[in-house]
C-alpha cells in the first residue's frame, strides 16, 4: 500500500493542478490523483496518466509487448503507432501520437462515455426503462434494475428513430447520470 504523503512540486507541474502562482507548492497525493497525476514509484516521480477511448486503449494493450523503438526491429510500438494513427485519419495526428506514446510509458485510464437518464418533462419522477426484450416503459421513482435506464448519446440517437419515440425529443428529456450512479 502506498503511503499517503504531500508532494512538493514546481511551478511548471502545478499549472495542471491549479491556477496558483509562486515557485514551489505543497500538494496532497489525493489532490494530484483527482487531477489525473500519479506517483509511479517510491522515488516520487510524478506523471500524468492519459485518458484514452476504448479503441485507443485496445491498440495500446495489443501492442504493449513490442519494444518502443528499435531501428533493427520492424515490429516496434512506434512503427505500429504511426500505422494506427495514419489509419484513423485524425485532424491532429501528432497529438494522438504523443498521447499514445505517453500511454505506453506512463499508463492510461479508459474514458467513460457519458450516460443519460430519460425523464418525462411533465412528471420528473418517471424514468424511461427498456427491458431486454425491447419493451419501453416509464417507471415511478428511481430507475429500476429490471431494465436499462442509462443510455449513451449514440443509443439515444438510435432510440429517437424508433416509432415509439414519435412526438418525444429524447435529447431534450435527457439528464446526465452522475458518476457515482453509472451502470457497467
Query: 0.85 exceeded by the pTM?
Result: no
pLDDT tens, 109-121?
A: 888 888 898 887 7
Shared domain for 102 and 153, answered yes or no, is no
- Count: domains in the chain: 3
Shared domain for 135 and 174, answered yes or no, is yes
31 in a domain, yes or no?
yes
Residue 117 φ/ψ, nearest 5 degrees: -90, 155
Alpha-carbon distance of 182 to 59, in angstroms, equals: 25
Expressed in angstroms, the distance from the first to the final Cα of the chain is 27
Shared domain for 31 and 64, answered yes or no, is no
1 in a domain, yes or no?
no
SS3 label, residue 182: coil
Shared domain for 36 and 78, answered yes or no, is no
Give me the domain span that covers residue 175: 116-181
Most confident by average pLDDT, 21-25, 30-34, 159-163 = 159-163
92 in a domain, yes or no?
yes
What is the β-pairing status of strands 50-52 and 116-118? unpaired
Residues 100, 60: contact at Cβ < 8 Å?
yes
Amino acid at each position: 500500500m502506498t503511503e499517503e504523503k504531500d508532494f512538493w512540486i514546481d511551478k511548471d507541474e502545478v499549472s495542471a493542478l491549479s491556477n496558483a502562482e509562486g515557485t514551489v507548492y505543497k500538494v496532497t497525493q489525493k489532490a494530484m490523483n483527482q487531477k489525473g497525476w500519479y506517483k509511479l514509484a517510491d522515488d516520487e516521480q510524478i506523471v500524468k496518466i492519459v485518458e484514452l477511448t476504448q479503441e485507443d486503449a485496445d491498440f495500446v494493450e495489443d501492442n504493449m509487448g513490442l519494444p518502443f523503438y528499435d531501428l533493427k526491429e520492424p515490429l516496434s510500438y512506434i512503427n505500429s503507432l504511426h500505422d494506427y494513427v495514419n489509419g484513423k485519419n485524425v485532424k491532429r495526428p501528432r497529438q494522438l501520437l504523443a498521447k499514445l506514446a505517453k500511454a505506453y510509458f506512463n499508463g492510461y485510464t479508459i474514458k467513460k462515455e457519458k450516460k443519460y437518464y430519460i425523464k418525462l418533462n411533465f412528471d420528473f419522477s418517471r424514468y424511461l426503462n427498456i427491458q431486454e426484450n425491447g419493451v419501453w416503459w416509464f417507471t415511478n421513482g428511481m430507475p429500476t434494475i429490471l431494465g436499462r435506464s442509462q443510455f449513451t448519446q449514440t443509443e439515444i440517437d438510435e432510440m429517437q428513430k424508433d416509432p415509439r419515440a414519435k412526438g418525444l425529443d429524447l435529447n431534450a428529456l435527457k439528464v446526465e447520470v452522475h458518476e457515482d450512479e453509472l451502470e457497467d
